[in-house]
Amino acid sequence: MRRRRIGVLLALAWLPGCAATGGPGDGGGGQVRGTGFPSEEALEGLREAPGPEAVFEPGLRDVETWTLRGPFPERVTVEPWSDESPAGRVLARLAETRPGLVVQTRAMHCVARELGLFFLEHGARPPEGLNRAARGTCRSAASQVNLGWVEGEAPAEASDEQLLEAWSETVEETIRGQLVGGPRTAGVWLGRDGGRALLMVAVGERRLHLEPVPEPEADGTLVLEGEALVPASEIHAAVTRGRLGFAYCRADELPLPRFRFRCPVDPGDPRVWLTVSLHPPGRLIGQVGVELLLWPDGAVDPVYRRPSYAVSRQAWDEETAAAGFAALLNEIREDEGLEPLRVDEPQSAVARDLAPHFFEALFEGSVGVADLVMLGLLAGWSVDGIVQSAHFASSWVPDTNDVGRLLSEALEYPMARSALLADDAERIAIGPVLEAGENGTSMAVVVGTYALFSEESHGARVEQVFAQLARERAARGRAAPDRLEDLADLSTDLAGAVQAGAAPQEALHELLNRSGEALGRAVRGWVLESSELEDIAFPAELLDERRVSISIGVASYRPEGEAWGRHVVLIVAADPGRGI
């Protein structure tokens, strides 16, 4: 008899595809904007630390297809369910010791059964893609599912009750070990194959409560409603669309912890993955609250098929793995009408050093180290240029050196699509891991993609800010601002000084001095900073005064000690008719 326990690491939601989430109005599109990243020194310490001798756990069995047996719950819901089997009665008795924290559900019983059947047939755990398919098909509403199992010899003449009695100490220890924390949903299954038996327990961690998920409306809109069960400062959702598309769900204005999303599901899709993510207060990185598998036409397909979005391409070392990953991804981006990504070599060196630490932390449940790696790659300290926003993704596949498989696993899910197929991304950093095992080479990769502040003309950005200010003034019943044409060249020059390294406040001070001299009138000025020009918050004086005359300069810069850059808008306004 053997007892095993494993956490299926969706607590971080980054297997096989991961993305840090955030950004105003994007519904959680795999992106972070802001500060709070680890320093270069902190990353250097991890980069120099000895890497793990082995990253991948043995005991996985990869399959191209697998048919789930069923029956399956008809909807996503958390309702108490009574499993009257001998194993179910053991779980019920132990769950009663944690009243209000553990609920037996049909979904978790389904997960335990489907994964137990695979284990019983193959003597090994399924790949992560099949794990997720089983959880989705079983309508699980858990943010992660922890598995524990007990296996051993089972004489044909021994009943299930007798077997559980003989294994009682180990079975209870295994189940109790999974029920800690809360709230939890739980299910258990006991199966046999000849002279072997396996007890599988599945326990789901709940971060969100969902109302019963309805069918999509006639136009494809799926309304998803619920509330967070853990502290959250933001909640977002994204959904797959078509072969490689994704879309962000529109959030109704509800006070947290409540949420309601309207997700644009494509009625023609055979199946859809929908991810709801949440940001714990004070964290840049989002966590998956729930991952749902949906069938827009209502017909559940019980067959898991290994995802295939990229052609096969073998890798023999880290160099060929990184080059192959970039080439295949750019082929897909070209097919999707997106610009290719340029490999950023200095940042890729960082990714290569950090990747083994990330996957070791992920498989062992070391959230702090995994967070450090993700935030470190998102920071993009070594990227050649000024980073405006960044995305993170990861993927892993057992027992293969096919880079196409590695990329395809990531592209199955919306959050990784939002990172790898971001339309604003220009650079990519790739950190591969290859590890030889008994059944071949296993592979993993961490990826950062980066949008940079562009070298677009100063004039275009100035016109964008003028137009935005005019719109906001019009909304308040005010006329568009007048332009101080005599100061246009001066504003351009001082914006260029910021671009070259001058402090924004010093540039504004110089702009005010020289503007006052040039106009012979009193002037006022502001420095406005934002990651996105459309997010600029104008001062009340510029919005409310009946008439304003202004000149604008726009630059981008990276503040000292910060990882990312930002837009800097210099605005000078002249008071009509006043002396200096």
Convert the pLDDT of each residue in 375-413 to its tens digit: 999 999 999 999 999 999 999 998 899 999 999 999 999
The C-alpha atoms of residue 90 and residue 70 are separated, in whole angstroms, by: 22
* Domain at 210-304: CATH architecture: Sandwich (2.60)
Predicted local confidence at residue 143, as pLDDT: 87
Name every residue whose Cβ is closer than 8 Å to that of residue 364 and which is 6 or more positions away in sequence. Answer: none
Q: Is 244 left (phi over 0), alpha (psi -120 to 50) or beta?
A: alpha
Topology of domain 458-574, CATH: Pathogenesis-related Protein p14a (3.40.33)
Predicted local confidence at residue 294, as pLDDT: 93
Mean pLDDT of 510-525: 92
Name every residue whose Cβ is closer than 8 Å to that of residue 97 and which is 6 or more positions away in sequence. Answer: none
432-468: per-residue pLDDT in tens? 999 987 767 889 999 999 999 886 778 899 999 999 9
Is residue 36 scored above 80 in pLDDT? no
Is residue 511 scored above 50 in pLDDT? yes
Taking a C-beta distance cutoff of 8 angstroms, is the pair 566, 498 a contact? no
Task: Share the mean pLDDT of the chain.
Answer: 88
Predicted local confidence at residue 454, as pLDDT: 80
Predicted local confidence at residue 576, as pLDDT: 60
- HEC readout, 228-247: ECCCCCEEEEEEEECCCEEE
Mean pLDDT of 39-65: 88
* pTM of the model as a whole: 0.86
How many Å is the maximal CA-CA distance in the chain?
104
Q: Which part of the chain has CATH 3.40.33.10?
A: 79-205, 308-452
Q: What is the DSSP letter of 256?
A: T
Predicted local confidence at residue 12, as pLDDT: 30
The C-alpha atoms of residue 414 and residue 16 are separated, in whole angstroms, by: 11
Predicted local confidence at residue 35, as pLDDT: 53
CA dihedral 500, 505, 511, 516 (to 10 degrees): -170
The C-alpha atoms of residue 330 and residue 428 are separated, in whole angstroms, by: 10
Is residue 13 scored above 50 in pLDDT? no
218-243 burial, b at 16+ Cβ within 10 Å, e below that, comes to: eebebbbbbbbbbebebbbbbbbbee
Helix 40-48 vs helix 345-364: angle between axes, to the nearest 10 degrees?
70
Q: What SS3 state is found at 524?
A: strand
Topology of domain 308-452, CATH: Pathogenesis-related Protein p14a (3.40.33)
Cis omega (within 30 of 0) for bond into 71: yes
Mean pLDDT of 328-342: 97
Mean pLDDT of 405-426: 95
The C-alpha atoms of residue 394 and residue 420 are separated, in whole angstroms, by: 10
Mean pLDDT of 159-177: 93
Share of the chain above pLDDT 90, in %: 72
Share of the chain above pLDDT 70, in %: 93
Is residue 159 scored above 80 in pLDDT? yes
Is residue 499 scored above 90 in pLDDT? no
C-alpha distances in angstroms, 101 versus 30, 98, 107, 186, 203? 31, 6, 17, 10, 12
Predicted local confidence at residue 56, as pLDDT: 83
Q: Which part of the chain has CATH 2.60.40.10?
A: 210-304
Is residue 568 scored above 50 in pLDDT? yes
C-alpha distances in angstroms, 313 versus 325, 328, 396, 408, 439? 9, 8, 15, 12, 18
Q: Name the nearest CA neighbour of 182 among 104, 242, 85, 101.
A: 101
Is residue 333 scored above 50 in pLDDT? yes
Mean pLDDT of 228-238: 94
Predicted local confidence at residue 439, as pLDDT: 67
Is residue 210 scored above 70 in pLDDT? yes
Is residue 19 scored above 80 in pLDDT? no
The C-alpha atoms of residue 243 and residue 210 are separated, in whole angstroms, by: 27
Kindly report the CATH class assigned to 79-205: alpha beta
Mean pLDDT of 194-207: 93
The burial of 533, by beta-carbon neighbours within 10 Å (0-12 exposed, 13-18 middle, 19 or more buried), is given as middle
Name every residue whose Cβ is closer than 8 Å to that of residue 305 and which is 6 or more positions away in sequence. Answer: 64, 65
Angle, CA 124 vertex, CA 118 and CA 125 arms, to 5°? 70
255-266: per-residue pLDDT in tens? 999 999 999 999
Q: What is the DSSP letter of 69?
A: -
What amino acid occupies position 216? P
